[in-house]
A and B are shown apart, each in its own frame.
Chain A
Amino acid sequence: MSGQVTLRDVTLGYDRHPAVHHLSGNVAPGALLAVVGPNGAGKSTLFRGLTGILKLLSGSISLHGLDARDIAYLPQSAEIDRSFPITVFDFVGTGLWRATGLFGGIGKAERQKMASALAAVGLTGFENRVIGTLSGGQLQRLLFARVMLQDARLILLDEPFNAIDSRTARDLLALVKHWHDEGRTVLAALHDLEMVRANFPETLLLARGPVGWGATEDVLTPGNLLVAMRMCEAFDDTAAACLDDERSRAA
């Protein structure tokens, strides 16, 4: 199905150590999926795998007609160097990268789009401020404005509501729902289980490996959450090579 994301026995990690281990499943086009799990569960790693930033250790991801152009990725705000002297307007303009590339001009139409995106997140009047002067919530709004400009069919939001006030979270959640209503597929890594239960119909509970994937009320059960909490945390330098791939191939 066009726009579907299919993961087949996906293992992602660093230096041969798996951070996401043997994950399989489908994300239907237009889905609104919460990815939940404790710190170190592999949520960010999964998103990096989906965007192609991180190569798979094994397994495969099929994007069924989506290419890199159709994916918008909102990284955690901690990944952004806020001391870099770039203005809000220039920063949001990076969302037009796929249209402008290295040399494409930013004309009147593009400026209008940028202004509209900033207006939609309540940042009109901030255009000439450098990003270092923004609060955490304002920076998050800016990142959402950039996602809007990317106009992508698949949207990946890595902890988009961390360390922001409730009003900003409410405003940004409304945007997420709007994208969902437009038929875009949205995956969001989240920690607030109440927010997930109230707003996300589908959930993937991750703890390096998949604990549950399906309707939110079926996945976020006390039993599953306990399993996720007991997740094996650290990399084991003495771990043996994983034979599951060979076993599954043999099967």
Chain B
Amino acid sequence: MSLYAALIAPFTDFEFMRRALAAVIALSLGGAPIGVFLMLRRMSLVGDAMAHAILPGAAIGFLLYGLNLLAMILGGLIAGFLVALLAGVVARSTGLKEDASLATFYLASLALGVTIVSVKGTNIDLLHVLFGNILAMDDQTLLVVAFNATITMLVLAVIYRPLVIESVDPLFLRAVSRAGTPAHLAFLALVVINLVSGFQALGTLLSVGLMILPAGIARFWSRDITGMISVAVLAAMFSGYAGLVLSFQTRIPSGPAIILVAAGLYVASVLFGSVGGLVRQLFPGRHLEA
């Protein structure tokens, strides 16, 4: 098989592959920068928990309107904020720490979501929601994913400064501005809409993967946040493209294939990354003059 046939032809020959590629590019542009902020704000696992927490809302939207991303996003947003709010209320009104409280609510929420889908839908629906199918993107879904990516980049541009300052020096931001809390809430909303965007492509279980793994990869290649966001977006796009090719040429489902490629890039970055990679640490070379 020629390189062209292996790497390019799937996209020139099949429309569903072109749609899938457009979808992963949109997901990468929106999700990867969000993933970088999740990681830097030490919220990587919160993103994972939220992905599970929004399932019942998305599932209800899915059952009422089918694979209508708008319905799923609205349902997911409501469920996500409800879980975040309840977890916060329980944590503040009892001695329970917020992460423990969130863990309880997201597990209950996940169980509820799976129950709703399995009672009201079919096993295929359940598999669809849990693992997604990026190869079955229709026009409307693709437009919603692209719209979400656009909104994400625009909102992120608006909240970028307060988000960065709040991450590095929260007291300073609170002294000079009240933008911290709205920025944090807007950021959580972006996390939710990007997770729901990822539902169709990767499913609830893996949608956070295209946010967190590229961020983890970027940490090993750049020291400053601008470089990190750039590397994360490129890593996510490459994972999406290579994952689709891998899925097309083998029988691996597309969602897991994309995340497996990202995981492979992550392992390579841990080993060979220029910032703190293991090989760099084991063989640092001669020390510098200054």
Contacts and interface: CB of A to CB of B under 8 A. Distances in A.
Contact of B168 (A91, A97, A98): A91
Interface stretch (B121-129, B146-154, B157-165): B157-165
B174 A85 contact: no
Contact of A86 (B159, B170, B175, B224): B224
Contacts of A86: 164, 168, 224-225
Given A73-B171, A75-B172, A130 B165 contact: no
A133 to B, nearest CB: 8
Interface in B159-194: 159, 161-162, 164-165, 167-172, 174-177, 179
A146 B173 CA distance: 13
Contacts of A52: 175
B179 A79 contact: no
B223 A94 contact: no
B176 A68 contact: yes
B228 interface: yes
B172 A73 contact: yes
Contacts of B174: 51, 53
A81 B171 contact: no
Nearest to B177: A97
Contacts of A81: 167-169
B273 to A, nearest CB: 14
B222 interface: yes
A98 B176 contact: yes
A150 B175 CA distance: 12
A73 B175 contact: yes
Nearest to B218: A85
Interface string B184-224: 00000000000000000000000000000000000000111
Contacts of B78: none
Contacts of B165: 94, 97
Contact of B171 (A79, A100, A131, A150): A79
Contacts of B158: 102-103
A247 B50 CA distance: 50
Interface string A204-245: 000000000000000000000000000000000000000000
B176 A84 contact: no
Contact of A85 (B161, B169, B224): B224
Nearest to B165: A94
B32 to A, nearest CB: 15
B234 interface: no
B228 A71 contact: no
B53 to A, nearest CB: 26
B74 interface: no
Residue of B161, B171, B172 with most chain A CB atoms under a 10 A cut-off: B172
A87 B168 contact: no
B112 interface: no
B179 A85 contact: no
B40 interface: yes
Interface of A: 48, 51-53, 68, 71, 73, 75, 79-81, 84-87, 90-91, 94, 97-98, 100, 102-103, 130-131, 146, 150
7 contacts: A75-B171, A81-B167, A84-B164, A84-B167, A86-B168, A91-B168, A130-B224
Q: Which 3 interchain pairs have the tightest Cβ spacing?
A: A84-B168, A51-B175, A73-B175
Given A84-B167, A85-B223, A102-B158, 7 more contacts: A51-B175, A85-B224, A94-B172, A97-B161, A102-B159, A103-B158, A146-B172
